[in-house]
Chain A
Amino acid sequence: MLFSRGQLPPPAAAPRIECTNSTGRRLAAADTTVDGAVVRAVLAGDIERYAELVGRYRDRYARYAARMLGSPDAAEDAVQDAFVRAYDQLRQCREPDNFAGWFFLILRNRCFAEGRRDARRGTAVDLDAQPIAGRGSERPDAIMEAGEQRRELQLALQQLTAEQREVFVLKHVEGLSYEEITVRIGGSVAALKMRMHRAYDRLRELLRDRI
């Protein structure tokens, strides 16, 4: 097997994820070598150790999945399925130390596939699934107003394309920069900005009575 074309192909996109936790704070990439050891142990037959990975990452991407799919229940199904699928394909995990980034891509695929199914079925968005986070200093009518705006925005988000919704969620919900998003899902900053700007325009159209 001789590489006879004289040049190496361009570098493959190898997502190296800097994860955030559920409150949006950056998490140090300190778990990676531990992840690699756990993945290798599971591949060697110590199946029970897979629970460590489930416990470590189950909530980390839950908000992403919930905003992509429109409800925490759908997110829970997606995260569960993604963990089972990741287990099935664990031998394909080329960088066990980067299990988190690899798992995110599996969950992302699952969310996109679910979105396509929902588009065919016309699934409704579960707008009441998330409680309105009341703030003590606000008047009740202000809280109601904030909750209503939140619901309307979430409904509008579900009417974006999955690609537009994803870049919006990663930037404005998860708080990633465009550069961090390219590391996570590939593509260029310019392409992501164009996608995002189309999402802004679409949201303005959908919420024109509000903004």
Chain B
Amino acid sequence: MTEFHPLVKRLLDGEATLADLPPELREQGAAALRLLGAIDRTPVTLDPALDARVMAAIGQRGRTGQSPASRRALRWLSEPRELRLRVRPWVLGVGLAAAAGLVAALVGPRAPQAPGPTVPESAFVSFVLYAPGATQVALAGTFNHWDQAATPLRRAAAGDVWTVTLALPAGEHQYAFVVDHRRWVTDPAAPAVDDGFGRRNSVIAVGGPGGHRL
């Protein structure tokens, strides 16, 4: 029998005292309290140099917000590296001919071209939430540093529909609605991603289809 009696567990939880236990359980209760008496509550102090190590590490990273993947990509592109090529002579001849053709194509006369579509630098985005019973709705996201006071939504005349329109820079933004200052609500009409801490953020990509140029 290795399980504590339920009353002894209540004793360990601080919901009962030794005197509350029946006499036949007091020995087990006393042993259980000795277990708690052996707990090490000694404060742990970390190396004073930890602060400097953290700041040195983030100093190498630049401004926050760059993902580790993008940092790795930038590093891969910027670091010099050695390339070794083994070329057969006849392949070299074909390659030189192809390169000459490419140069001729690039420097030769070209017909004027109409300007192609460009990615807008920013776009208007309307956010709409149907929130019956809400008295206040705000929008918080990466574009306003998750400031719940920065972007309140207006209640539409219909009653329970809340809207706001923002000009957002091109790129991906994460956001959520905050209802009545306390309830975080993802946008049901947008994809959502895990924020890594058990909650979900909605995601919008500005610059793709759906927005219009300013």
Q: Are A205 and B2 in contact (CB under 8 A)?
A: yes
Return the chain A residue nearest B130 by Cβ: A3
- A137 contacts the other chain (Cβ, under 8 Å)? no
Interface residues in B187-211 by Cβ distance below 8 A to A read 187-190, 195-199, 201
Tell me which of B29-37, B89-97, B105-113 binds A.
B29-37
Q: Are A42 and B46 in contact (CB under 8 A)?
A: no
Q: Are B50 and A94 in contact (CB under 8 A)?
A: no
Determine the chain B residues whose CB is within 8 A of the CB of A153 once the complex forms. Answer: 35, 38-40
Return the chain A residue nearest B8 by Cβ: A200
Q: How far is the CA of A80 from the CA of B128 in the complex (A)?
A: 41
Tell me which of A84-92, A114-122, A158-166 binds B.
A84-92
Q: How far is the CA of A205 from the CA of B2 in the complex (A)?
A: 5
Known: A80-B54, A173-B41. Contact between A96 and B3, CB under 8 A? no
Q: How far is the CA of A186 from the CA of B130 in the complex (A)?
A: 27
Determine the chain B residues whose CB is within 8 A of the CB of A93 once the complex forms. Answer: 146
Q: How far is the CA of A205 from the CA of B63 in the complex (A)?
A: 51
- B55 contacts the other chain (Cβ, under 8 Å)? yes
- B135 contacts the other chain (Cβ, under 8 Å)? no
Chain A positions within 8 Å of B, measured between CB atoms, are: 1-9, 11-14, 22-24, 39-40, 42-45, 47-48, 50-51, 54-55, 58-59, 62-63, 65-67, 72, 75-76, 79-80, 83-84, 87-96, 102, 105-106, 109, 130-131, 133, 146, 149-150, 152-154, 171-173, 178, 186, 193, 196-197, 200-201, 203-205, 207-208, 210-211
Q: Are B197 and A133 in contact (CB under 8 A)?
A: no
Name the distance in Å between A131's Cβ and chain B's nearest Cβ. Answer: 8
Determine the chain B residues whose CB is within 8 A of the CB of A106 once the complex forms. Answer: 197
Q: Are B50 and A200 in contact (CB under 8 A)?
A: no
Chain B positions within 8 Å of A, measured between CB atoms, are: 2-4, 6, 9, 12-13, 31-32, 34-47, 50-51, 53-55, 57-59, 61, 63-68, 126-134, 140, 142, 145-147, 161, 174, 176, 179, 182-190, 195-199, 201
Q: Are B127 and A13 in contact (CB under 8 A)?
A: no
Determine the chain B residues whose CB is within 8 A of the CB of A211 once the complex forms. Answer: 31-32, 34-35
Name the distance in Å between B158's Cβ and chain A's nearest Cβ. Answer: 11
Q: Are A50 and B55 in contact (CB under 8 A)?
A: yes
Return the chain A residue nearest B4 by Cβ: A200
Q: Are B44 and A63 in contact (CB under 8 A)?
A: yes
Determine the chain A residues whose CB is within 8 A of the CB of B36 once the complex forms. Answer: 172
Q: Are A91 and B64 in contact (CB under 8 A)?
A: yes
Q: Are B55 and A54 in contact (CB under 8 A)?
A: yes
Name the distance in Å between B141's Cβ and chain A's nearest Cβ. Answer: 9
Q: Are B197 and A130 in contact (CB under 8 A)?
A: no
Report which of B31, B39, B201 forms a contact with A173, defined as CB distance below 8 A.
Answer: B39
Determine the chain B residues whose CB is within 8 A of the CB of A14 once the complex forms. Answer: 182, 184
Report which of A4, A45, A131 forms a contact with B130, defined as CB distance below 8 A.
Answer: A4
Name the distance in Å between A37's Cβ and chain B's nearest Cβ. Answer: 11
Q: Are A76 and B145 in contact (CB under 8 A)?
A: no
Q: Are B50 and A80 in contact (CB under 8 A)?
A: yes
